[in-house]
């Protein structure tokens, strides 16, 4: 089971970053962010949706996210995890305080995501777009002594996503809301997936502070052949399912520079860690 759950958490991380930006960037404008992200868990959701304990495992990730306006209707998107550490803590006897099983870690480059977004429709209150994202298997899909310390899944996937967003006011306070639905085609005998989510936020102090909440859902079509019996153990994140909720707060210190912090956690799921993730980063607005 541990090979089923190891770093399926990275899947949540990718979903989070590709729902972050608000609308398309104008031609020549961009949003760039350097972030750290971490998760550590001693419990996981099983393939039946129940929770079971596991040896304390986690990951730490440094990454760059960018979105750039090629034209009025086209944006380029990239997510590059250039440092990923997957680890398991020592298992220590509660009676003798003796180390029973030594801990282990694996560090490498992670799986990249490259995307392009197209504006379908934009009015004063509504925005619709489509995104094609390519998941590049640039991480280590068989890391560590038993192959379970992965920093990538070893498969090339393609996701098509449709976004819809709107802006409105409540008692003169500006808000936005948006949603998406997508289909993720996975290779190497992984199951395909349906993804959808919602997000809403508002700003304060003359648009210097943004607070948002989001929810992401993934449902597996369970049409892949990978299983725990796979001889090479390369079953990274297959048949992951979850419903997560999270928040993020961003503060602009200048017109172009700011910081953000956030957290996200799956409150139900299958084959995924049952613990919150945390992130913090520095962003730059190219105007």
pLDDT digit string, tens, across residues 199-239: 999 999 999 999 999 999 999 999 998 764 333 333 466 88
Task: Tell me the residue length of the chain.
Answer: 287
Neighbouring residues of 218: CB distance < 8 A, sequence distance ≥ 6 = 11, 15, 193, 194, 195, 240, 241, 242
Determine how many CB atoms are found less than 10 A away from the CB of residue 78.
15
- Residue 211 has a pLDDT of 96
49-76 residues labelled b (16+ CB within 10 A) or e (exposed): eeeeebebbbbbbbbebbbbbeeeeebe
Distance CA 6, CA 58 (A): 8
pLDDT of residue 236: 61
**Whole-number pLDDT of residue 225:** 85
| Distances from the Cα of 130 to the Cα of 117, 169, 180, angstroms | 6, 26, 9
Q: Measured between alpha carbons, how far is residue 138 from residues 97, 121, 157, 272 in Å? A: 39, 34, 12, 22
How high is the pLDDT of residue 233? 32
Burial of 226 (0-12, 13-18, 19+ CB in 10 A): buried
Return the residue matching tokens 């993804």: 195
Residue 142: pLDDT band by 50, 70, 90 thresholds? confident
Structure tokens at 162: 């449709």
Sign of CA dihedral 5, 10, 13, 18: negative
> Considering only CA atoms, which of 153, 178, 168, 173 is closest in space to residue 233?
153
Average pLDDT over residues 272-280: 92
Report the pLDDT value the prediction gives residue 22, as an integer from 0 to 100: 55
Q: What is the pLDDT of residue 150?
A: 87
11: left (phi over 0), alpha (psi -120 to 50) or beta: alpha
Instruction: Give the CATH architecture of domain 2-286.
Output: Beta Barrel (2.40)
Cβ–Cβ < 8 Å for 2, 50: no
| pLDDT tens profile 19-29 | 444 579 999 99
Of 51, 37, 113, nearest to 276 by C-alpha is: 37
């Amino acid at each position: 089971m541990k090979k089923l759950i190891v770093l399926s958490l990275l899947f949540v991380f990718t979903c989070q970053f590709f729902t972050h930006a608000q609308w398309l960037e104008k031609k020549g404008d961009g949003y760039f962010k350097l972030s750290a992200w971490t998760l550590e868990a001693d419990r996981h959701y099983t393939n039946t949706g129940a929770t079971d304990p596991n040896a304390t495992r986690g990951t730490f990730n440094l990454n760059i996210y960018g979105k750039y306006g090629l034209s009025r209707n086209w944006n380029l998107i990239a997510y590059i995890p250039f440092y990923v550490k997957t680890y398991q803590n020592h298992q220590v006897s509660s009676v003798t305080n003796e180390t029973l099983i030594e801990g282990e870690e694996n560090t490498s480059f992670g799986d990249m995501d490259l995307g392009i977004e197209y504006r379908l429709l934009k009015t004063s209150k509504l925005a619709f777009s489509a995104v094609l994202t390519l998941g590049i298997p640039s991480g280590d899909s068989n890391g560590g002594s038993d192959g379970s310390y992965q920093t990538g899944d070893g498969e090339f996937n393609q996701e098509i996503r449709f976004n819809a967003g709107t802006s409105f006011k409540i008692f003169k306070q500006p808000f936005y809301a948006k949603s998406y639905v997508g289909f993720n085609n996975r290779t190497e005998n992984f199951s395909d997936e349906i993804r959808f989510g919602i997000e809403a936020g508002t700003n304060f102090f003359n648009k210097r502070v943004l607070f948002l909440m989001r929810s992401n859902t993934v449902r597996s079509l369970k049409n892949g052949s990978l299983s725990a019996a796979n001889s090479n153990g390369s079953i990274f994140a297959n048949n992951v399912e979850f419903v997560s909720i999270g928040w993020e707060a961003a503060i602009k210190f200048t017109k172009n520079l700011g910081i953000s912090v956030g957290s996200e956690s799956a409150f139900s799921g299958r084959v995924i860690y049952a613990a919150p993730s945390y992130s913090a980063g520095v962003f730059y607005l190219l105007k």
